[in-house]
């Protein structure tokens, strides 16, 4: 069997004796190394690309986390920094973006829909289905009540100005397209999202 500098190789203690290292006279190096690393545990970590959630500049961020995402073990975000390879921010972040880790870990962070019933003084967790139905119901009621088909001069305007729509600053093209279509189709004028820029 030949040995090569170009092919993929897998490192092992057993391979050492038959290697260039072994041939130079360090035949026992592999076993020594294996014994040396035995007490250590390998830790799994990830660096994930994402976009900063704060403003419409959408700076690229690298999110460092520890832990095995493929198993049931909990992984933990440990650090967030600007993505040096991102063409928009080239690794930089503004003070808000640089503090985005606190946003991730904030005890006040909203992780599921919450609902405050009329007359109640506290929010309660609700299901997504409930939240969607409720929002749709309220939007429909409001639109039925306030939709303006024609203005004073009888010109068709089809507008609905009593409701506004706020998308996110980090939308992709596709999500921006859908947001725009939905809002404009219902007649909403007060629309703000990434696709405006």
Partner 1 sequence: MVPAGSREALSERSTFPSTGFGEGTLGDVADSEAIRLPDLAVVFSRRAERLSALAPGHELEAFLRLMAALATAQQASLSGLPPGTLPASSEVAAMRRSGRSPLDPVSAGRDATWRAALDRIIETIDRSVLPEPARATVASLAQTPPAVLEAMADRFLSGEVERKDAAAVTFVAAALQVAWTRMAALLDKADLASDAPETGTCPVCASPSVAGIVSPGGTKFGHRHLHCSLCATAWRYVRVRCIHCGSTDKVSFRQFAGASFVRAECCEKCHGYSKVFYLDHAKPVEPFADDLASLGLDMLVGEEGFSRAPNPFVIGMMERSQE
Alpha-carbon span 102 to 124, nearest angstrom: 24
Residues that bind partner 1 (CB under 8 A): 1-16, 18-26, 29-30, 32-37, 40-49, 62, 69, 81-85, 90-92
What SS3 class is residue 103?
helix
Q: In what order do the strands lie in the sheet with 156-166?
A: 148-150, 156-166, 188-192
Query: Toward partner 1, which CB reaches closer, 39 or 107?
Result: 39
Query: Toward partner 1, which CB reaches closer, 48 or 151?
Result: 48
Query: Toward partner 1, which CB reaches closer, 16 or 52?
Result: 16
Instruction: Please state the closest distance from residue 105 (CB atom) to partner 1, in A.
Output: 19
Query: Toward partner 1, which CB reaches closer, 82 or 167?
Result: 82
DSSP string, 111-135: -S-EE--TT-SS-EE--HHHHHHHH
Burial of 126 (0-12, 13-18, 19+ CB in 10 A): middle
Instruction: Please state the closest distance from residue 101 (CB atom) to partner 1, in A.
Output: 14
Instruction: Please state the closest distance from residue 104 (CB atom) to partner 1, in A.
Output: 18
Alpha-carbon span 31 to 14, nearest angstrom: 8
Instruction: Please state the closest distance from residue 146 (CB atom) to partner 1, in A.
Output: 44
């Amino acid at each position: 069997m030949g040995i090569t500098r170009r092919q993929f190789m897998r490192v092992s203690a057993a391979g050492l004796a038959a290697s260039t290292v072994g041939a130079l006279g360090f035949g026992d190096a592999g076993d020594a190394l294996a014994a040396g690393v035995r007490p250590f545990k390998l830790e799994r970590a990830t660096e994930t690309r994402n976009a900063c959630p704060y403003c419409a500049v959408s700076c690229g961020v690298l999110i460092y986390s520890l832990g095995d995402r493929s198993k049931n073990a909990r992984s933990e975000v440990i650090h967030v920094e600007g993505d040096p390879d991102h063409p928009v921010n080239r690794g930089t972040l503004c003070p808000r973006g640089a503090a985005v880790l606190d946003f991730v870990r904030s005890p006040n962070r909203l992780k599921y829909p919450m609902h405050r019933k009329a007359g109640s003084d506290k929010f309660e967790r609700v299901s997504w289905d409930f939240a969607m139905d409720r929002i749709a119901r309220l939007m429909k009621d409001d639109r039925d009540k306030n939709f303006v088909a024609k203005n004073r001069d009888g010109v068709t305007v089809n507008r609905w100005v009593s409701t506004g729509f706020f998308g996110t600053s980090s939308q992709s093209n596709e999500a921006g397209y859908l947001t725009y279509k939905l809002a404009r189709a219902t007649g909403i004028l007060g629309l703000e999202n990434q696709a405006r820029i």
